[in-house]
Amino acid sequence: EAGVAQSPRYKIIEKRQSVAFWCNPISGHATLYWYQQILGQGPKLLIQFQNNGVVDDSQLPKDRFSAERLKGVDSTLKIQPAKLEDSAVYLCASSFFTTNEKLFFGSGTQLSVL
Amino acid sequence: QKEVEQDPGPLSVPEGAIVSLNCTYSNSAFQYFMWYRQYSRKGPELLMYTYSSGNKEDGRFTAQVDKSSKYISLFIRDSQPSDSATYLCAMSALDSNYQLIWGAGTKLIIKP
């Protein structure tokens, strides 16, 4: 079974630039998550999709972050404009369940904002 | 006070030792408890999943939940250098739509 695919693995940008991350979940997983993980901290949920719909985006900084899930499969997360404090690992996860059991994570994108 | 507290470590033990990793929490509504393992530059990987109280064993790993004390533990027997990683606890409750609340993770180092 193929895992959750994410790209790119690393990205370095300057503040005020824009950046986009891509995620392809495990086939058949209806629930998709984007997390932000700052070094030394647990993952912080940014947005959760159930198929095409948004279940929870309460912690997404909507003035600069946006996300979409195309046709209930792939997803992109965008930051525009980036700030220094956005430096983190952005993790995508997917789950077959709707009750947040058994999340499968990708390897993440390491973002450095200079 | 954070909803879930976890000692960041690092915890360094010799190979073969029994390791005990712990989390405390404040929300008595939590019903589902998970342990994830995260290797450097990788995403977290689910190790153990427990509902409500009690113990669950899987190979060298045992997860324990004590709801009366709001305390969960992960035990690793016969620890190996390959167990060196960060261990994250996570928990959820029905009344918050199962949103996962994560600990900050404990870094574990197993010395050969």
Residue B82's φ and ψ, nearest 5 degrees, are -70, -10
pLDDT tens for the 112 residues of chain B, in order: 779 999 999 999 999 999 999 999 999 999 999 999 999 999 999 999 998 888 999 999 999 999 999 999 999 999 999 999 999 999 999 888 889 999 999 999 999 9
Contact B105/A at CB under 8 A: yes
- Give average pLDDT by consecutive 10-residue segment, chain A, 114 residues: 92 98 95 96 95 92 95 94 97 90 94 98
Position B53 scores a pLDDT of 82
| Half-sphere exposure of residue A57: CA atoms within 13 angstroms, side-chain side | 14
Q: Do A91 and B104 touch (CB under 8 A)?
A: no
Q: Which of B90, B85, B91, B81 is nearest to B16 (CA)?
A: B81
Position A77 scores a pLDDT of 98
| C-alpha distance from B7 to closest chain A C-alpha (Å) | 11
Q: Which helix (H) or strand (E) holds B74?
A: strand B71-76
Q: What is the DSSP string of A80-94?
A: SS--GGG-EEEEEEE
Q: Do B104 and A104 touch (CB under 8 A)?
A: no
How many other β-carbons are positioned within 10 Å of the β-carbon of residue B13?
Answer: 17
| C-alpha distance from B18 to closest chain A C-alpha (Å) | 24
CA dihedral of B38, B43, B48, B49, whole degrees rounded to 10: 140
| Half-sphere exposure of residue A54: CA atoms within 13 angstroms, side-chain side | 12
Q: Which residues contact B8 (CB under 8 A, 6 or more apart)?
A: A40, B104, B105, B106, B107
CA distance B7 to B10: 8
Residue A58's φ and ψ, nearest 5 degrees, are -65, -25
Q: Do A104 and B46 touch (CB under 8 A)?
A: yes
Position A1 scores a pLDDT of 64
